[in-house]
Structure formats: C-alpha cells, structure tokens
C-alpha cells in the first residue's frame, strides 16, 4: 500500500505566559523524540486526555510500550492553563439535551473520583481541595435561576446564598446572589498535569518538545517529529482543537479562546479583604461572566473574555487588552486590589460541540481520537482517556456504554459561516452580560 502522509498545518503556540506553570519550579530538561523509536502505542498530546489514555493503556497492557508525545511541556498546554475546577457536574442556562447532560454527570463524577484517587495515591502536590464551587450573578438573576433549575433536574443539591452570604465567602458585595454546590475540586492545574505526567507507569515514555509534524501510514503508523520518528502499531490522537490541523475530525468543535490572569501572592492585609474561608472558586451564571478564584497560596485567578479562535494564536496586543480587562474585573469586586501585580496573563482554547456530542473512538483501523469539549472538560477528559484505553483493549463496562451511547459531535458549518455565527453569539453575550464580567 502506498504510504499516506498527513501534515500538521498548525502547531500549538500557547504563548509565553502560563502563570500557573511559571509559579512552579522549572521542570527538568525534556526528553525529545530523537532517532527512530518503535512502540506498540503512540499517544499524541500530554493534556488530560493524553495522560489519562497513556496511563490506562499502560496499566492494561504492562508488556506493551507506550510513547506519549507532546509538542510543548506537560502542564503548559490547555490542561495546565485552565481555571482549575475539577467538576463532578455542571449546570448552565439552556441545557437542551437533558439526557446527554445526565450521562455527562455520570462521566464527570467518575472522572473526578479517578483523578482524586491518582492524586492521592501518587501524592501529587497540586493543592487539590474538595472545596466545591459557587455559581454567582451580579445581576443575572434569570441565568442563576437556570443554573439552580438545571441542578434540580439533575438531582444535584445546592444552597442559596444572598449578597451577605456571598460576601462572607469572598469579601465582595459585587454579587447579588450565589448558588453553592459541594462535591467538585479546585487544583493548581499545571502542577496536577506535571504530576500526572511524572507518575505514569514505567512502560510509558514521555517525549516533550516533540511536535508531530506529519503522520504517515503503511501498515502501522509513522509520526515525524523535528529530530526523529516514532513508529507505532496504533495511534491515539489527544491533540484537542489541533486534531483538525492533522487533517482529522475537522469541523466538529468550535475553537473558543478564553483568558486568565493570576496575581502575585496577596499580602496579609490584602488577603483579609477576601472573605473568611481561605480559598474559594466562583463560576459565572452568565456565559459572559468571570470565573474567579482565591487560591490556597493567596492569589486571585481571574478568567473571562471569549473569542472565536480558529487562528489558535494570542498576539501580544490582545494579551495587553485582556490583562487590562482582568485588572478592571478585580477592581470591580475588590476596589483596593485593582493594581495588584500579575504573575501572568495567558490565553487558551476550549472546544465546543454543537450538540454536546462526544469525540471518542476509532477514526480508522489503528487510529483513535479523543477530544474533551463543552462542560466539565477536565474530568470528562480524564475518564474519557481511561475509557478509550479500555475500549482499545477490548474491556467493556457500564460506563463505557454510557460514553458510546452519547451522540457523536455534530458537523459544523465551515468558515466564514461559523465565524459569523459564533462572533454574533459572543457579541450578544458580551452586550447582555457586560455587568457580569
């Protein structure tokens, strides 16, 4: 059979600042793909999906070799640059697909439990805390009601907080109401991802700073990196929104960029302005709102702002604008803290499907793909990787049947139609939810 080559048109370029990563000690030098490497399985992408898939494949096939190949460093990509909410369930306005939502709750609950177990077992130092979260609204009462109605439909208990109740936790009177939900965890995501990558079974070799430039097929697979190649019997693509750049699964997920800033640690006097619990995690009821955290090491994490991000790039001028928005969002909540220095401001890309559908399973003989999209993607990505490895190894389970019964991610229209539709939607959200940011 003639070799078939597919080239990656665009590679991850996550920009120079990931505050979570940069507040950790520098990692040891990377092991790169050099020369010719032969393995049974190659997993591409060391985010939550790739680390979970590689871990479970190696556990189930202890005599097989697994290469986990990452373009950058473990903990630097999207899984290490998010807001750090490990959600066992989630509710948002307009949950149109309740059956899928219930299935997703089962998956993200199992994902949270599995992650918690790994973090404890390997003593991964990522400040894992089962604090839960509060959904908040400054004025978006209707959106917050949608959130609590959604939890009622899912059978998830919640507690109502009035302005004083939210202030007791956050020190801010910015929010009129909150819906407090227990169960989920807060983590330092970069530390968790580094820890997950560092504690993989012995038959997994992690290769970093090794972008896969081309994928060729002749019987098995040949992955071409700048300084070497990996030949594998089977390949699992866990490359998130970059999967389409390799020519696979195009037009299944809308790439939306969002942005976060992490402050330097607060002084004692500053920290005293942020409520009485020592840490918190706030999720916005309105899609234009801000995700806000006080971390255990007394930093504020501010996440907001959405962009259609087909280019998958974060130019410096955009990052300056975003940092300014984040400063104003902090000042709106804590007027005395608006000029607190930032340890970093960065962007990352989330994938959204049109129908809360799954991207999970075979692409063709020997080639598999997994992408975690929509709500609670970290915990769904963790369990998705575990279940995909079990599927590849022929192991069935009730939970595997749950993921297999989800609708496949529906096809999206191409650009410029998609760009136009998404920009219009994001623009409307920004207009209606300006006060929530």
Ligand X SMILES: Cc1cc2nc3c(=O)[nH]c(=O)nc-3n(C[C@H](O)[C@H](O)[C@H](O)COP(=O)(O)OP(=O)(O)OC[C@H]3O[C@@H](n4cnc5c(N)ncnc54)[C@H](O)[C@@H]3O)c2cc1C
Among 178, 284, 344, 377, binds ligand X (CB under 6 A): 377
Q: Which helix (H) or strand (E) holds 371?
A: strand 367-371
CB of 68 to ligand X, least distance (A): 10
What is the DSSP-derived secondary structure letter of residue 278?
S
CB of 385 to ligand X, least distance (A): 8
Q: Assess 350 for contact with ligand X (CB under 6 A).
A: yes
Q: Are 89 and 106 in contact (CB under 8 A)?
A: no
Q: Assess 12 for contact with ligand X (CB under 6 A).
A: yes
Cβ distance to ligand X smaller for residue 9 or 117: 9
Among 43, 48, 169, 369, binds ligand X (CB under 6 A): 48
Binding mask 14-43 for ligand X (x = CB under 6 A): ------------------------------
Q: Are 88 and 183 in contact (CB under 8 A)?
A: yes
- DSSP string computed for 61-85: -TTS-EEEE-SS-TTTSGGGSS--E
- 151: Cβ–Cβ under 8 A, 6 or more apart, which residues? 89, 91, 157, 158, 179, 181
For the segment 188-247, give every residue that binds ligand X (CB under 6 A).
211-212, 238-240, 242
For the segment 56-95, give every residue that binds ligand X (CB under 6 A).
69-72, 77-79, 82-85, 87
For the segment 93-122, give every residue that binds ligand X (CB under 6 A).
none
Binding mask 251-270 for ligand X (x = CB under 6 A): -------xxx----------
Instruction: Quote the tokens at residue 336.
Output: 């005395």
- DSSP string computed for 6-32: EE-SS-----S--HHHHTSPPPPPPPP
CB of 90 to ligand X, least distance (A): 9
Q: Are 193 and 79 in contact (CB under 8 A)?
A: yes
CB of 247 to ligand X, least distance (A): 11
Q: Assess 357 for contact with ligand X (CB under 6 A).
A: no
For the segment 154-193, give every residue that binds ligand X (CB under 6 A).
none
Cβ distance to ligand X smaller for residue 129 or 270: 129
What is the DSSP-derived secondary structure letter of residue 391?
H
- 164: Cβ–Cβ under 8 A, 6 or more apart, which residues? none
Q: Are 160 and 264 in contact (CB under 8 A)?
A: no
For residues 334 and 345, give the distance between their C-alpha atoms in angstroms, rounded to a whole number.
19
In this structure, the number of other CB atoms found within 10 A of the CB of residue 31 comes to 12
Question: Would you call 259 helix, strand, or coil by DSSP?
Answer: strand
CB of 81 to ligand X, least distance (A): 6
List of residues contacting ligand X (CB under 6 A): 8, 11-12, 44-50, 69-72, 77-79, 82-85, 87, 211-212, 238-240, 242, 258-260, 303, 348-350, 371-372, 376-378, 381
């Amino acid at each position: 059979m003639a070799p078939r080559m597919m080239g990656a048109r665009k590679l991850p370029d996550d920009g120079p600042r990931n505050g979570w990563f940069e507040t950790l000690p520098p990692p040891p030098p990377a092991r790169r793909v050099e020369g010719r490497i032969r393995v049974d399985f190659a997993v591409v992408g060391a985010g939550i999906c790739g680390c979970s898939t590689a871990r479970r494949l190696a556990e189930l096939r202890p005599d097989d070799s697994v290469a986990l190949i990452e373009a950058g460093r473990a903990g630097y990509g999207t899984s290490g640059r998010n807001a750090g909410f490990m959600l066992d369930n989630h509710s948002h306005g307009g949950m149109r697909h309740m059956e899928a939502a219930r299935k997703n709750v089962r998956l993200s609950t199992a994902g949270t439990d599995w992650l918690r177990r790994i973090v404890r077992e390997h003593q991964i130092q990522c400040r894992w805390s089962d604090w839960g979260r509060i959904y908040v609204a400054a004025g978006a009462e209707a959106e917050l009601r949608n959130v609590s109605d959604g939890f009622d439909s899912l059978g998830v208990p919640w507690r109502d907080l009035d302005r004083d109740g939210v202030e007791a936790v956050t020190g801010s009177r910015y929010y009129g109401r909150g819906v407090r939900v227990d169960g989920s965890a807060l983590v330092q995501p970069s530390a968790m991802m580094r820890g997950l990558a560092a504690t993989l079974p012995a038959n997994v070799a992690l290769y970093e700073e090794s972008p896969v430039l081309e994928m060729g097929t002749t019987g098995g697979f040949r992955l071409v990196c700048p300084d070497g190649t990996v030949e594998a019997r089977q390949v699992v693509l866990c490359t998130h929104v970059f999967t389409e750049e390799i020519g696979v699964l195009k037009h299944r997920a809308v790439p939306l960029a969002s942005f976060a800033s992490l402050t330097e640690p607060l002084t004692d006097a500053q920290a005293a302005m942020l409520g009485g619990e020592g840490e918190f995690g706030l999720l916005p009821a309105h899609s234009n709102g801000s995700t806000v955290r006080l971390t255990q090491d007394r930093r504020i994490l501010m996440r907001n702002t959405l962009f259609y991000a087909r280019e998958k790039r974060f130019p410096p001028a955009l990052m300056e604008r975003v940092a300014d928005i984040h400063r104003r969002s902090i000042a709106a909540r804590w007027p005395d803290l608006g000029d607190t220095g930032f340890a970093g401001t960065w962007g990352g890309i989330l994938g959204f499907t049109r129908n809360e559908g799954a991207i999970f399973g075979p692409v063709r003989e020997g080639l598999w793909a997994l992408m975690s999209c929509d709500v609670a993607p970290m915990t769904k990505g963790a369990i998705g990787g575990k279940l995909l490895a079990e599927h590849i190894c022929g192991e069935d389970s009730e939970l595997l049947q749950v993921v297999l019964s989800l609708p496949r991610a529906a096809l999206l229209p191409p650009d410029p139609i998609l760009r136009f539709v998404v920009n219009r939607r994001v623009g409307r959200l920004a207009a209606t939810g300006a006060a929530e940011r």
